[in-house]
């Protein structure tokens, strides 16, 4: 175990610049920091809320100088609390935490987003774009209203394919129903996916024949490797800490 910068939790007193509703229960938060070092795609920040004792983890969805963007979906008390914050509010944050994703040596790559999973992949698209790696995105969600960040992906990707479960926008069907039939898929070197557990399970069954990195979630205790609260079962029969060994794992190496 080598000490890494993300293992020591850096705390911030930051300011909420904008809290914008994107869709049903979906919010985009612009946060301004006083002091912010490097932040890699895949890394996350933990927010203190007034509704829960432990911090809540959110992936970095984008960056502009000292501003970070987070996109959150309200699922419980902590996210509800955050969604109600007004502009100008002070936020107690910790991060960046977790390991950045392994960047590809060559493209094209494809991003596979299920619902709120689009959030961390947007920041990855931005970084890939900066490094001139070609990138496609397949964005899926339940309904049209739940499809988020499509414009942002549009400006960064070679191609953006949309899909909804109910067909209200783009292809009709689950991400994993549509994916195999896409012509673009053949020259893809690496996949990056973020979405619900059921999506990862289906992706595993698809067996795309190329490396697939999965951005995982897990209920966390500390976010810094201290408590073993966030384990995801590995192929080796051991639990791996999503907070410090992840949150991005090679799909092959984990059990679902």
Partner 1 sequence: MNLEVFLGKARFRNPLVLASGTFGYGLTHTHVIDRMGAFVTKGITVQERVGNPPPRIWDTAETVINSVGLENVGLKRFKEETLPLIHISTPLYVNLAGVDLDDFRILIKSLRDDERVAGFELNLSCPNVKEGGVALGQSVDRVREVTSLARSLTTKPLWAKLTSNFCDVRQTSKAAADAGADALVLINTLNALVIDIKGRKPFLGAGSGGLSGPAIKPYVLYIVKEVSRQINIPVIASGGVTSGTDVIEYLLAGASLVQLGSINLVDPEAGLRILEELKRYFEQEGISSPAGIIGQLEER
Ligand X SMILES: Cc1cc2nc3c(=O)[nH]c(=O)nc-3n(C[C@H](O)[C@H](O)[C@H](O)COP(=O)(O)OP(=O)(O)OC[C@H]3O[C@@H](n4cnc5c(N)ncnc54)[C@H](O)[C@@H]3O)c2cc1C
Binding site for ligand FMN (CB under 6 A): 221, 227, 229
Determine contact, residues 138/118, Cβ cutoff 8 Å.
Answer: no
Residue 27 Cβ, how far from partner 1 at the closest point, in Å?
Answer: 21
Instruction: Cite the DSSP H helix spans in the chain.
Output: 77-83, 118-130, 150-156, 175-178, 197-206
- What is the C-alpha to C-alpha distance for residues 12 and 47, in angstroms, rounded to an integer? 10
241 binds, among ligand X, ligand FES, ligand FMN, none (CB under 5 to 8 A by kind): ligand FES
Residue 47, beta-bridge partner list: 56, 93
Q: Which one of residues 142, 173, 211, 229 is an interface residue with ligand FES (CB under 6 A)? A: 229
- What is the C-alpha to C-alpha distance for residues 130 and 124, in angstroms, rounded to an integer? 10
Residue 236 Cβ, how far from ligand FES at the closest point, in Å?
Answer: 17
Instruction: Choose between 49 and 164: whose C-beta lies nearer to ligand X.
Output: 49
CA dihedral 208, 138, 106, 70 (to 10 degrees): -120
Determine contact, residues 101/192, Cβ cutoff 8 Å.
Answer: yes
Residue 40 Cβ, how far from ligand FMN at the closest point, in Å?
Answer: 27
Cα separation values, 93 from 49, 69, 70, 90, 255, Å: 10, 13, 12, 10, 31
239 binds, among partner 1, ligand FES, ligand X, none (CB under 5 to 8 A by kind): partner 1
Q: In the range 68-87, which residues lie near ligand X by CB under 6 A?
A: 70-73, 75-79
Residue 48 Cβ, how far from partner 1 at the closest point, in Å?
Answer: 7
117 binds, among ligand FMN, ligand X, ligand FES, none (CB under 5 to 8 A by kind): none
Determine contact, residues 127/41, Cβ cutoff 8 Å.
Answer: yes
205 binds, among partner 1, ligand X, ligand FES, none (CB under 5 to 8 A by kind): none
Instruction: Choose between 154 and 196: whose C-beta lies nearer to ligand X.
Output: 196
121 contacts ligand X (rule: CB under 6 A): no
Q: In the range 19-78, which residues lie near ligand FES by CB under 6 A?
A: none
Q: Could you tell me the two tokens for 14?
A: 């930051």
Residue 209 Cβ, how far from ligand X at the closest point, in Å?
Answer: 27
| Residue 66 phi, psi dihedral angles, 5° rounding | -95, 15
Q: Which one of residues 71, 194, 243, 254 is an interface residue with ligand FES (CB under 6 A)? A: 243
Half-sphere exposure of 12 (CA within 13 A, CB side): 22
Contacts to ligand X by CB under 6 A: 44, 52, 56-59, 70-73, 75-79, 98, 116, 119, 217-218, 220, 242, 247
């Amino acid at each position: 175990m080598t000490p890494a910068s993300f293992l020591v939790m850096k705390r911030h007193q930051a300011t909420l610049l904008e809290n914008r509703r994107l869709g049903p229960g979906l919010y985009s938060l612009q946060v301004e920091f006083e002091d912010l070092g490097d932040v890699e795609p895949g890394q996350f920040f933990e927010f203190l809320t007034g509704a829960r004792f432990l911090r809540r983890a959110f992936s970095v969805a984008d960056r502009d100088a000292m501003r970070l963007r987070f996109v959150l979906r309200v699922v419980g008390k902590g996210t509800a609390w955050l969604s109600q914050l007004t502009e100008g509010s002070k936020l107690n944050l910790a991060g960046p935490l977790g390991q950045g994703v392994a960047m590809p040596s060559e493209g094209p790559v494809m991003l596979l987003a299920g619902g709120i999973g689009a959030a961390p992949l947007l920041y990855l698209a931005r970084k890939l774009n900066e490094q001139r790696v070609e990138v496609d995105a397949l964005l899926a969600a339940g309904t049209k209203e739940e499809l988020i960040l499509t414009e942002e992906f549009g400006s960064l990707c070679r191609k953006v394919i949309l899909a909804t479960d109910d067909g209200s926008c783009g292809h009709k069907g689950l991400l994993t129903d549509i994916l195999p039939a896409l012509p673009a898929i053949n020259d893809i070197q690496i996949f990056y996916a973020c979405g619900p557990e059921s999506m990862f399970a289906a992706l595993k069954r698809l067996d795309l024949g190329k490396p697939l990195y999965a951005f995982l979630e897990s209920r966390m205790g500390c976010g810094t490797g201290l408590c073993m609260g966030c384990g995801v079962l590995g192929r080796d029969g051991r639990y791996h800490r999503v907070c410090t060994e992840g949150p991005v794992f090679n799909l092959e190496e984990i059990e679902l």
